[in-house]
């Protein structure tokens, strides 16, 4: 299929900047040579949110209600290298034609305007649709354009951005997606990459448990990505000399939670408050501070850069805690607020004192609704 077009570069002096091509095509034809990949368990290479039938019907009705109603806004697509041909005559200022083949539709992505395209096609497949094509687009470029364009109008959920950042950063690239999002003032935590590792690495205590869009459904996918990021960030804020880089802080975090999981397997369930955002973040803070104390003031030698030492320290800390605390009924609703965090920290200190004094772990713990020795 051939269409008259104008090809140009918005930044002609920068060879790394993407080149554009502007043209128009019938809605039905566009759908024949493009794909609209949705981020899903079946397609981790998707970028779009799920199709919203209400939006499509709204666009259809808008066009149907008045003959003067039009949609001048262009849809944005990305064309991978080799997915198209440009025929621009020598000496032309960019005017020529673009040639597209439905056989290459897997390399032609709609990154903005999917609902406009669906709605226009539903109204009339012959309706002309303005198009801006980004030529020779990488995976990173697809995700970057989707996030930036959509955050200017209808914000993309933070966890959707996290999933894209994890899936679409090009390894070894000069500028990864996170750096580009930071320049666009859409930055995520510097620890966003570790969220993907925590969910996918075989020896991670959170494998298959992180609640990211596009991940396969699982019985327990309740760990909020921000909880992992904030837990690592707290460890980084301690500025331990032995944990000089982000990778070391992540490994320290993993050592803590691997030991917690092996010690309290029952607390790694979908109903456990331990895996909530406030639970995971507060427990990380509590255990990290306790390890810091042991390493600094205790007569027990703790090398916090050594996984075995960290694991033994965590076991010692957990010996004065109870997994039942995270499984019993509380006197207040769980939420990630300062009030709840303060109550959890107070409860953990009380439990430590109770168990050290050989009393019931729940004695005088205000947060526990049913006072007993266990559940």
**Could you tell me if residue 12 is inside a domain?**
yes
What six digits make up the tokens of 95? 């005017």
pLDDT of the residue at 131: 96
> Which of 320, 323, 331, 333 minimizes the C-alpha distance to 374?
323
Length of the chain: 375
Rounded CA separation 21/117 (Å): 18
**Could you tell me if residue 200 is inside a domain?**
yes
Mark whether 205 and 296 lie in a shared domain: yes
Confidence check: pLDDT of 306 > 90 = no
Q: What is the pLDDT of residues 260-284, one digit of tens each?
A: 999 999 999 888 999 999 999 999 9
Mark whether 20 and 96 lie in a shared domain: yes
What is the share, in percent, of the chain residues with pLDDT greater than 90? 43
Mark whether 133 and 193 lie in a shared domain: no
Angle at 157 between CA 75 and CA 165, to 5 degrees: 80
**Could you tell me if residue 116 is inside a domain?**
yes
Mark whether 76 and 200 lie in a shared domain: no
Mark whether 202 and 275 lie in a shared domain: yes
Rounded CA separation 363/230 (Å): 30
Rounded CA separation 21/5 (Å): 6
pLDDT of the residue at 296: 85
88-92, 181-185, 343-347: segment of lowest average pLDDT? 181-185
Mark whether 221 and 300 lie in a shared domain: yes
Domain count, the chain: 2
Q: How far is CA 120 from CA 19, 29, 128, in A?
A: 26, 12, 9
**Could you tell me if residue 333 is inside a domain?**
no
Last residue of a domain, one of 137, 153, 173: 137
**Could you tell me if residue 145 is inside a domain?**
no
pLDDT of the residue at 1: 92
Residue 84 burial (CB count, 10 A): 20
Residue 357 burial (CB count, 10 A): 8
Confidence check: pLDDT of 18 > 80 = yes
Mark whether 15 and 122 lie in a shared domain: yes
**Could you tell me if residue 324 is inside a domain?**
no
The position carrying tokens 């040639």 is: 99
Q: What is the pLDDT of residues 148-159, one digit of tens each?
A: 776 654 555 565
Mark whether 103 and 220 lie in a shared domain: no
Residue 100 sits at φ, ψ, to 5 deg, of -125, 145
Using 50, 70 and 90 to split pLDDT, how confident is the model at 304?
confident
**Could you tell me if residue 158 is inside a domain?**
no
For residue 285, what are the domain limits? 189-319
151-155, 296-300, 310-314: segment of lowest average pLDDT? 151-155
Last residue of a domain, one of 299, 319, 339: 319
**Could you tell me if residue 344 is inside a domain?**
no
Last residue of a domain, one of 73, 105, 137: 137
């Amino acid at each position: 299929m051939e269409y008259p077009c104008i090809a140009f570069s918005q930044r002609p002096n920068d060879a790394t900047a993407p080149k554009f091509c502007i043209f128009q095509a019938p809605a039905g034809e566009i759908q024949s040579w493009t794909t609209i990949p949705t981020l899903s368990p079946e397609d981790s290479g998707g970028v779009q949110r799920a199709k919203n039938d209400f939006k499509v019907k709204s666009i259809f009705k808008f066009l149907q209600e008045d003959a003067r109603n039009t949609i001048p806004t262009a849809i944005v697509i990305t064309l991978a290298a080799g997915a198209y041909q440009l025929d621009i005559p020598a000496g032309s200022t960019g005017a020529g034609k673009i040639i597209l083949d439905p056989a290459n539709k897997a390399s032609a992505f709609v990154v903005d305007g999917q609902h406009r395209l669906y709605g226009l096609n539903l109204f009339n497949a012959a309706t002309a649709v303005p198009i801006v094509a980004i030529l020779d687009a990488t995976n990173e470029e697809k995700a970057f354009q989707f996030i930036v364009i959509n955050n200017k109008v209808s914000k993309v959920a933070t966890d959707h951005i996290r999933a894209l950042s994890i899936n679409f950063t090009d390894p070894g690239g000069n500028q990864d997606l996170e750096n580009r999002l930071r320049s666009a003032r859409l930055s995520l935590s510097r620890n966003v990459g570790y969220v993907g590792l925590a969910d996918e690495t075989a020896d991670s205590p959170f494998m298959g448990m992180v609640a990211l869009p596009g991940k396969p459904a699982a019985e327990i996918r309740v760990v909020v990505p921000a909880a992992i990021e904030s837990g690592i960030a707290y460890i980084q804020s301690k500025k331990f000399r032995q944990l000089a880089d982000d990778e070391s802080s992540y490994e320290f975090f993993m050592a803590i939670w691997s030991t917690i999981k092996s010690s309290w397997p029952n607390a790694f369930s979908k109903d456990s408050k331990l895996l909530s955002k406030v639970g995971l973040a507060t427990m990380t803070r509590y255990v990290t501070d306790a390890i810091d104390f042991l390493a600094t003031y205790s007569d027990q030698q703790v090398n916090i850069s050594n996984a075995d030492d960290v694991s033994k320290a965590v076991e010692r800390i957990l010996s004065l805690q109870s997994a039942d605390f995270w499984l019993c009924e509380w006197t207040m609703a769980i939420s990630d607020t300062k009030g709840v965090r303060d109550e959890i920290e107070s409860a953990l200190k009380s439990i430590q004192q109770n168990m050290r004094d050989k009393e019931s772990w729940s004695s005088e713990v205000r947060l526990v609704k049913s006072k007993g020795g266990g559940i």
